[in-house]
Structures are given as C-alpha cells and as structure tokens.
C-alpha cells in the first residue's frame, strides 16, 4: 500500500513545492551599492565583532544580513544594500507580503488563502544553520506558512504533508518515537501473521481429499467390489 503511494505521489508537488519571494529589483538596475563596511558603521557595530555578512535578495530588495555576538548567542541585524541604512526584521504584514510575492510563481497559488492568524516563533533556517525568529502564518485554507523574519525563507505545511509523513512512518515501521516500542509492535504483528498463515495451512491440509493418499478403489482391491449386471 505504501509502495503504491510512493509511486503515485499524490499531493507531492504541492506538499514539497519550494516557495521563494520574487526579487524586487534586478542587480543590473541598481546604480549604487553600499559596502558591507558602510552598513556595519551605520548600524553602530564594531567591525571586529561581525562574524558573518550575507547578501539576501527577495521582495525587500537587496539586504545585508549582519551577524555579531557568539555562536551560542548570535545577534542579527539587517541593512539596505543600496544605502547601508539599517532596516527592521519582517513584521506580520511583511511576512504576508513575502508569501504573496512567492505565490506569484506558484502553480498552486489558488490553494493558499488569506492569513487568519500570525504569531512569532523560532524556526529552523537553512541559511543560518540554526533556529531564528520567524512568523507562523495560519491560513484560512488550513496551511501553515513559516516566514523567517531575517532571511525571508519560506516553509509550509498542510494536512497533505502530515499524510505523507505518516505513510513514511508506516512504511519504515516508525509507529512511535521509541525504537523499543516499534520493535515490540513489529514482533507482535509478525507473530499474528505467522499464526494466521499456520492456521490457514492447517485448514488446507485437513480439507484435502484422502483418496489421493492411498484409499482403495474397486480396481485396486482385485475386482471384489460390486459388479455391474445387464
């Protein structure tokens, strides 16, 4: 059953559709750029304390992501890459705008509805390699879209994702988070299956005709059976 689902892949295109905000402006259209050092200075940061600088491109335009602090306690700042001026992380409205920008290139845009609720959470960021502040947008169509407040990375999940995840858990026999419990369940199912097969074989053997195992017929008994008379 799960093998059929994995080959048919119903809903996979929607469930694993990558969403990314459309860049606001092409790089060739920007006449002047601010250097990262200018952005660091305008943000009031010590250049020696900056651990990483990344150039982002999304519906906000080109943005510098400046990271200071320590590995365990990082501090993130944003700056406009054209002017070097500091900018704020995305708020709820900004996260919604990033989503709407990404949906202009989505083949499943009609399946996404309006935002019913927005709340701040910490979510994993592939760009940063750790959790970072984000917005969880609950849509009136049932999806939950996560937009990173700094990097504008977008993730989304819906009931179809839950169904696919459960089909994989069943296929790999990961019924619970505990390995020992999963092993016990599999052993129980296997024991019941073997018992069912054994009972079926026993019923099959018991109902087979006994003549083929040596029961005598009239011809084998020397003709001493009843004779036909005319």
Virtual CA dihedral for 93, 97, 102, 106, nearest 10 degrees? Answer: 90
pLDDT at 60: 92
Average confidence (pLDDT) over 108-123: 93
Number of domains in the chain: 3
221 within domain boundaries:
no
Considering the domain architecture, whether residues 45 and 94 belong to the same structural domain is answered as: no
Considering the domain architecture, whether residues 101 and 2 belong to the same structural domain is answered as: yes
| pTM, entire model | 0.69
Beta-ladder partners of 80: 63
> Residues 139-182: pLDDT tens digits?
998 889 999 999 999 999 877 767 667 776 776 667 677 888 87
pLDDT at 149: 97
Last residue of a domain, one of 88, 106, 128: 88
Considering the domain architecture, whether residues 101 and 12 belong to the same structural domain is answered as: yes
> Residues 172-227: pLDDT tens digits?
667 677 888 878 887 888 888 888 888 888 888 887 665 555 555 555 445 555 55
- The range of the structural domain enclosing residue 117 comes to 1-17+90-170
Considering the domain architecture, whether residues 2 and 103 belong to the same structural domain is answered as: yes
Considering the domain architecture, whether residues 115 and 81 belong to the same structural domain is answered as: no
C-alpha–C-alpha distance, residues 14 and 152, integer Å: 20
Considering the domain architecture, whether residues 26 and 96 belong to the same structural domain is answered as: no
70 and 35 in contact (C-beta within 8 Å)?
no
Of the candidates 133, 62, 137, which has an alpha carbon nearest to the alpha carbon of residue 96? 137
Considering the domain architecture, whether residues 160 and 179 belong to the same structural domain is answered as: no
> Residues 42-84: pLDDT tens digits?
999 999 999 999 999 999 999 999 999 988 889 999 999 999 9
């Amino acid at each position: 059953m799960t093998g059929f689902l994995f080959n048919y892949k119903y809903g996979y295109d929607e469930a694993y559709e990558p969403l990314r905000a459309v860049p606001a402006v092409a790089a060739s259209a920007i006449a002047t750029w601010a250097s990262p050092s200018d952005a660091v200075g305008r943000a009031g940061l010590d250049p020696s304390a900056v651990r990483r600088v990344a150039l982002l491109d999304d519906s906000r335009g080109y943005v510098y992501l400046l990271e200071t602090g320590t590995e365990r306690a990082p501090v993130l700042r944003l700056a406009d890459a054209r002017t070097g001026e500091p900018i704020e992380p995305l708020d709820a409205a900004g996260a919604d705008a990033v989503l709407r920008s990404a949906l202009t290139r989505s083949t499943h845009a009609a399946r996404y509805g309006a935002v019913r609720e927005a709340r701040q959470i910490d979510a994993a960021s592939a760009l940063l390699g750790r959790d970072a502040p984000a917005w969880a947008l609950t849509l009136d169509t049932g999806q939950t879209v996560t937009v990173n407040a700094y990097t504008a990375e977008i993730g989304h999940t819906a009931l179809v994702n839950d169904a696919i995840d459960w089909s994989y858990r069943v296929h790999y026999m990961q019924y619970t988070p505990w390995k020992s419990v999963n092993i016990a369940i599999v052993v129980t199912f296997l024991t019941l299956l073997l018992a069912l097969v054994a009972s079926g074989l026993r019923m099959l053997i018991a109902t087979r005709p006994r003549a083929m195992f040596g029961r005598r017929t009239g011809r084998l008994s020397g003709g001493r059976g009843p004779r036909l008379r005319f």
